[in-house]
């Protein structure tokens, strides 16, 4: 068991749609975890005074932070929708290969569309 060959090299693996949903679930999770300090610390400082509050709003208006903001929105939405699919699979819903492939496409498209809409709306 211990010496079983493993291949986790992302550049040599071909990705079917369910695999893409799965890897993007991980990616979005890591992105959110790494960017959490931005949320925690700006939450804390935004309540200190009105000028700090406005300063933080201004800070999030820089193009780079607009991109980060949109990335986080995509992360949350993809993580939520892919997570719902994951829990449904755990409960044995949508286990057929055809259904699983279909739902994985739906997850990818819906999360991109919703986060795109929110991203454009908030830009």
Which residues would be at the binding site for other proteins (CB under 8 A)? 8, 26, 29-30, 32-33, 36-37, 40-41, 43-44, 46-47, 50, 53-54, 76, 80, 83-84, 87, 90
How crowded is residue 98: how many other Cβ atoms within 10 Å of its Cβ? 8
Which helix (H) or strand (E) covers residue 79, if one does? helix 63-90
Q: How far is the CB of 98 from other proteins (least distance, A)?
A: 25
CB closer to other proteins out of 12 and 97: 12
- CA 95 – CA 18 distance, rounded (Å): 12
CB closer to other proteins out of 49 and 97: 49
- Nearest CA among 103, 43, 107 for reference residue 74: 107
CB closer to other proteins out of 58 and 84: 84
Q: How far is the CB of 47 from other proteins (least distance, A)?
A: 6
- Nearest CA among 43, 28, 56 for reference residue 115: 28
């Amino acid at each position: 068991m211990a010496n079983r060959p493993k291949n986790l090299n992302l550049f040599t693996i071909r990705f079917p749609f369910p695999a893409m949903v799965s890897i993007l679930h991980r990616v979005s999770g890591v992105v959110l975890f790494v960017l959490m300090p931005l949320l925690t610390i700006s939450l804390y400082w935004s309540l200190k005074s009105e000028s700090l509050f406005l300063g933080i709003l201004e800070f999030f208006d820089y193009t780079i932070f607009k991109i980060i903001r949109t990335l986080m929105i995509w992360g949350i939405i993809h993580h939520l929708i892919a997570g719902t699919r994951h829990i449904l699979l755990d409960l044995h819903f949508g286990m057929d290969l055809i259904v699983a492939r279909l739902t994985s496409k739906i997850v990818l498209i819906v999360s991109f569309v919703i986060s795109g809409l929110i991203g454009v709306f908030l830009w």
